[in-house]
Homo-oligomer: A and B are copies of this chain.
Amino acid sequence: MRDIFAKALVFFSKNKKRLFFFVAFFVGLVGPMALASSEATQEASHGSQAFLLWLPVILIAAAISKLIEKIGQPSVLGELIMGVLIGNLALIGINWLEPIKTDFFIQGLAEFGVVVLLFQVGLESNIQKMMKVGLPAFLVAVIGVVLPFILGTYVVGPMMFPGLSQVAYLFLGASLVATSVGITARVFQDLNKSKIREAQVVLGAAVIDDVLGLIILAVVSAIATVGSVSVGAISIITGKAVLFLIGSIVIGVLAAPKIGQIFSKINNNTGMKAIIVLSFGLIFAYLAGQVGLAPIVGAFAAGLVLDPVHFKFFRDPQIIYDIKESVSDQEPVTKSKLLEKIKHHSDAHVEDLIKELGNYIIPVFFVLTGMAVNIETLFDLPVLMTALVVTFVAVITKIVAGLAAGKGSNKLIVGVGMIPRGEVGLIFATIGAGLGVVNDELFSVIVIMVILTTLLTPPILAYLLKKQDKNPSGQVVDQAV
């Protein structure tokens, strides 16, 4: 970490103009907008058109945050930090940006963004590659769920929060379970590492992790409300989730080629291709949500089963035109050579098209995630110390789970990749608080644990990935996939 700050200082001191531009732009961004909206915020901020201001605020913040790439950090970290800054401006009296946090449209766009991200990551992989890492991913997921759940419920809970009920400890254990894979997936993507073996193991483990988290949520909720667990009900929940995953793979593999073929008859341009590919991902995300899984798990599964070859019926006239244009009388090429170029372009294009959309909406999720961080939570010293202990347990248990990644993977990268806890941890805390078993202190501790695991993972993971690049002899990486 010291390294990062040193690099940042060097970056700004080397050229004062850079710092000037950064500060000037932030003032330039906040100033006129505040002026323009000061009188109007009251009425308009919850109106349907307020997003026309909130969206550019988020996008420009994300654009500025790309500065962090210059000190070697993934841009997702910049987006999170920028989110934290914007989200806590109210502490220094600037509160006209507060409505962003509760804007329905922006929230929807953030959800849309993270679904598109995991869909993209799924597209970059495929079923065959995932199957290869099936066993290690399963082991990582199971250990990464069982270990923090038991430690949280039977050790950390009673030790750090004496006097609370056993059910409260159950909620703490449960909140330590589920990996929020969005952060990790984005770091892999920022550093162009989505296809390495470690990424495959983490993503596979995250899918299984989500199923296990779903079961634990059902069990813990049942114990907290009814006092006992119905094996039948839990079986149904688990069965639906597992059936969805198996079903999506079977249906996806069978239906994807047909769908591509039929639609190509209507209008075989890239715009059509992009719409169908995206719709496929969204429907899977929706169905995952319907069986109780995270929509991002469905989107990832959809990406896995889609293969560019299913869309070979589509041709992009613009690209063909461009390539034809680039060939003049003075530079003749053979027809087979030209066709090869076109084929290559068409194959790569499915992912590219979704990327263009992701460029606009994925940052919304991460800036909004940063905005949800309430810095004030970190000011209560006793709570913070307790939270640090819980965070330590959250980190170490996933790193231990990473050891199950097996030969061919950098185990530390897999373990760190599983660290981030997100929505699911907060869902447990919120349900527990709603039932009156999780008190204010425990709630704050869980929130801080989620914040720290979210913010610390990107720089650590980026550091490990770069170290591996420099010294690949230490671990064998499967580059053949």
Contacts and interface: CB of A to CB of B under 8 A. Distances in A.
Nearest to A47: B289
B18 A278 contact: no
A254 interface: no
Nearest to A363: B275
Interface in A260-298: 262-263, 265-267, 271-272, 274-276, 278-280, 282-283, 285-287, 289-290, 295
Given A24-B262, A52-B283, A323-B326, 4 more contacts: A37-B290, A52-B289, A52-B295, A326-B326
Q: How many copies does the complex hold?
A: 2
Residue picked from A105, A112, A360, most chain B C-beta under 10 Å: A360
A59 interface: yes
A60 B104 contact: no
B266 A64 contact: yes
Interface in A100-146: 104-105, 107-109, 111-112, 115
A48 B18 contact: no
A117 to B, nearest CB: 14
Given A63-B272, A108-B104, A295 B49 contact: yes
A357 interface: yes
Of A50, A272, A287, A332, chain B has the most CB atoms within 10 Å of the CB of A287
B359 A275 contact: yes
A25 interface: yes
Contact of A290 (B44, B63, B283, B331): B44
Nearest to A358: B271
A86 interface: no
Nearest to A270: B359
Contact of A115 (B52, B112, B263, B280): B52
Contact of A111 (B40, B49, B262, B280): B49
Contacts of A356: 274, 353, 356-357
20 contacts: A21-B262, A21-B265, A33-B283, A48-B107, A52-B111, A52-B115, A52-B282, A52-B295, A55-B279, A60-B279, A63-B276, A63-B279, A66-B266, A67-B267, A105-B109, A105-B112, A271-B359, A278-B360, A323-B326, A326-B326
Contacts of A108: 48, 51, 104-105, 108
Contact of A274 (B36, B341, B359): B359
A478 interface: no
A333 interface: yes
A53 interface: yes
A423 to B, nearest CB: 12
A441 interface: no
Given A287-B36, A359-B271, A53 B105 contact: no
A62 interface: yes
Interface string A59-76: 110111011010000000
B104 A272 contact: no
Given A52-B295, A104-B104, A331-B331, A360 B266 contact: no
Contacts of A357: 356-357, 360
Contacts of A363: 275
A56 interface: yes
A109 B48 CA distance: 10
B49 A289 contact: yes
Contacts of A323: 326
A282 B107 contact: no
A40 to B, nearest CB: 5
B48 A111 contact: yes
A244 to B, nearest CB: 11
A18 B265 contact: yes
Contact of A283 (B53, B105, B279, B287): B53
Interface string A17-47: 0100100110000000100110010001000
A49 B274 contact: no
A55 B282 contact: yes
B341 A326 contact: yes
A66 B275 CA distance: 12
Query: 10 smallest A-B Cβ distances: which pairs?
Result: A56-B279, A105-B108, A52-B286, A356-B356, A331-B331, A53-B286, A66-B267, A56-B282, A104-B104, A271-B359
Contacts of A33: 283
Contacts of A280: 56
